[in-house]
Homo-oligomer: A and B are copies of this chain.
Amino acid sequence: MENLLIGVGTAGLKDSGNPDILVVLLPYSCESSMLFTENYFKAGSVIYTEGIAKKRKKLRAILVNSGNANCGTGKEGIEHARMMAEKVAQRLDLRYDEVAVFSTGIIGEPLPIDRVLNAIEGATSSLKEMDLKEAAEVISTTDSFPKYETRENTFGFAKGAGMINPSMATMLSFVFTRYDLEYEILHDVHKDVVDKSFNSITVDGCQSTNDASVLVSLGSKPLDIKALKEEAEGVFLSLAKKIVADGEGATRVIRITVKNATLKMKAKEIAKSVANSLLVKTAVYGRDPNWGRILAAAGSTEFPIDPFSVKIYIGNHLLYDGKPHPKAVKYAKKYLESVKEIDITVDLREGRETWTYYSSDIGYEYIKINAEYHT
Q: Is there an interface contact between B329 and A375, defined as CB atoms closer than 8 Å?
A: yes
Q: Which of A292, A303, A368 has the most CB of B within 10 A?
A: A292
Bound form: Cα–Cα A364–B367 in Å: 6
Q: Is there an interface contact between B371 and A283, defined as CB atoms closer than 8 Å?
A: yes
Q: Is there an interface contact between B206 and A73, defined as CB atoms closer than 8 Å?
A: no
- Take A204-B279, A367-B285, A370-B282 as given contacts and tell me if A209 and B41 are in contact as well, using a CB distance cutoff of 8 Å: no
Q: Is there an interface contact between A320 and B72, defined as CB atoms closer than 8 Å?
A: yes
Bound form: Cα–Cα A282–B72 in Å: 20
Bound form: Cα–Cα A39–B372 in Å: 35
Q: Is there an interface contact between B308 and A75, defined as CB atoms closer than 8 Å?
A: yes
Protomer copies: 2
Q: Is there an interface contact between A371 and B288, defined as CB atoms closer than 8 Å?
A: yes
Interface size on A, residues (CB 8 A): 68
Residue from B205, B283, B291, B296 within 8 A of A39 (CB atoms): B296
Q: Is there an interface contact between B292 and A206, defined as CB atoms closer than 8 Å?
A: no
Let me know if A92 is at the binding interface, CB within 8 A: no
Minimum CB distance partner of A78 in chain B = B308
Let me know if A132 is at the binding interface, CB within 8 A: no
**B-side contacts of A367, CB under 8 Å:** 282, 285, 362-364, 366-367
Residue from B40, B107, B278 within 8 A of A206 (CB atoms): B278
Bound form: Cα–Cα A305–B40 in Å: 6
Bound form: Cα–Cα A295–B41 in Å: 7
Q: Is there an interface contact between B206 and A297, defined as CB atoms closer than 8 Å?
A: yes
A245-300 at interface with B (beta carbon < 8 Å) = 276-279, 282-283, 285-286, 288-293, 295-300
6 closest A-B pairs (Cβ-Cβ)?
Answer: A107-B292, A41-B299, A286-B371, A74-B323, A207-B300, A282-B370
